[in-house]
Every structure is written in structure tokens, then in C-alpha cells.
Amino acid sequence: MRAAALPRLARFLASHPLVRRDPFGAAARLLRWQAIARRGGTLDAPWVHGPAGLVRLRLKRGLSSATACWYAGLTDPAEMGFVLQALRADDRMVDVGANVGVYAALAAGAVGARVLALEPAAETLPDLQAMIALNGIEDRVDIRAVAAGAAAGMLRFTAGRGTTNRVAPDGTAEVPVATLDGLCAGAPPLLLKVDVEGAEPDVLAGAAALLAGDALQAAILETAGATDAAIEGTMRAAGFAPFAHDPFRRLLTPMPGPARPNTLYLRDAGFWQARIATAPEIRVFGRPL
């Protein structure tokens, strides 16, 4: 671990609710992984247990999203907790910007949902495939090496940045683009998750029919600041409103606007509140969520 990263990691762990519940467990996991990583090793370990089974987490150097989950339990407890508590077996979810597959593995492995996982970065795709294979959920996760956008075609993508590659006009790689309307025709999801480093408005522009339909009832969208107004306008116009989710009290609370770094948008909050309240027990590193 680089010394420059230590203050940021310390702030992340000190403010994380799951770490505060089990500080010694988090410290033990951190030390264990640092010892393995320094030797260039990898780690496959039990992570989250839900009604559909146990999800294992795969770590190797450079997989920042998986490493954060290893340290803290759930990197984004509100959003990941929503996936775990709100979805049921065979519900459909689309994961745009699936990265190494932590969300897809939780939805399909712990809950039994069916996931369409989109990840266009060639450097990241093998790690996504490995996470899904590790958990034996290939039959529930459909991986597509495409980006979601406003229109089908091709776009430029960065290369050489591992799990942080993104859409960029000066990118050295070229990746195929499809619209969510095209990808989801005939099988619309109940939940949409989009984390594409600021390209969320383009993804939503290609999902006009999906947003206008009745099947999609929830979306977890990265709201990093510059695109908030566009995202908020699109989602409000489609009948969605922003909510905060407390996975520990199993409570949804309306919000006046977007949150950081992600926002949960819902239709019919009563439907989701009832699902969350009656969700089976979820355990993260053996402890109930």
C-alpha cells in the first residue's frame, strides 16, 4: 500500500458504520490482506451470506472495489444493503459499469437475482468473469463486454488504468456501445445500477423506453456533482424520487435531492419499504446486517 493512500484509507475506515461495529475484525482483515498482497498473492474468502447462498470475495492487487469490501464489509452499505434487502430470487437487475463484479455477485449469489452485467474495459473483464465463476453463478449473470450509451456505436475508452478506466475522447481503446433500451428489450429489470464515472446522463438517454415503462422501479446512480442536475431532471420526469436507505434500521427516507457519491431513486416507496422490512437475514463476514 502506498503511504499516500493511508490517510484516505484511514478516513474511510473511521467513518464506515460496519467498521465501527467490528473494528477488530476490520483491522485483522486489513493486516491479513496487506501480508498477502506484499507477497503478490491472491485471496478468495467468504464474504456475504444471504438466502440464496454464500458469496465469496476474490482479491488481488489493484482491485480497489473488492479490497474496500474486504476491509469494510460493504463499500457502499446503503446501496449494497438495498440490493441485498430489496431484491428477491429471479428479480432482474442491470449493472452498468459492473467493474470486478461486487454488486453483481451480491445480487445473484446472495439473493438469487438475475443480473445483466455490462463492463467494456478489457483489463477489468477477466476479473469480473473470475468473480462470477468463483461463486458459481454463471447461470444468473449475463456478462456483456459493452458500454451503455445514448446510441449504439463505438466510443473511446482509456486503457492502462485497471479498474478506473473510463469513457474519454482521447482514450486509446475503442469499445462497442449499446443502449439499455436495446439490451433490455423483452426483459426489463426491476433495479438498475449505473456507475460510469460521469457518463450517467448518456446511459439514461439510451434508456428512454425503460424509464417510461412500468417494470423498472429502482435505480442506484452515481451522482458525483457535475451531472446531478441532468440525472435528477431525467429521473423526476420518469416518476422517480431520491431516497436514503438505512440498512441497519431497514428504513427508507425521502431526500430533497441527490446524495454523494450515489443516489437511490425509487418509484412506489411503499413497495420497497415492505420488501426491505420482510427481507431474510443477511450476514456480512458472519455478522447480521
Task: Report CA-CA distances (Å) from 252 to 74, 82, 158, 245, 255.
Answer: 18, 10, 37, 5, 10
**Rounded CA Rg of the chain:** 18
Q: What is the DSSP letter of 167?
A: B
Per-residue pLDDT of the chain (289 residues), as tens digits, is: 566 677 888 899 999 999 999 999 999 999 999 999 999 999 999 999 999 999 999 999 999 999 999 999 999 999 999 999 999 999 999 999 999 999 999 999 999 999 999 999 999 999 999 999 999 999 999 999 999 999 999 988 777 666 666 777 777 788 999 999 999 999 999 999 999 988 999 999 999 999 999 999 999 999 988 999 999 999 999 999 999 999 999 999 999 999 999 999 999 999 999 999 999 999 999 999 9
Neighbours of 169 (CB within 10 A): 6
For residue 45, what are the β-bridge partners?
57
Instruction: Give the model confidence (pLDDT) of 8-33 as tens digits.
Output: 888 999 999 999 999 999 999 999 99
Distances (CA, A) of 20 to 12, 23, 27, 249: 11, 5, 11, 16
CA distances from 255 to 75, 195, 211, 251 (A): 21, 20, 20, 13
- Grouping H, G, I as helix, E, B as strand and the rest as coil, residue 72 is helix
Residue pair 152/177 in contact by the 8 Å Cβ criterion: yes
**Cβ-based burial of 24 (10 A; exposed 0-12, middle 13-18, buried ≥19):** exposed
Residue 3, pLDDT score: 61
Domains of the chain: 76-288 (3.40.50.150)
Model pTM score: 0.94
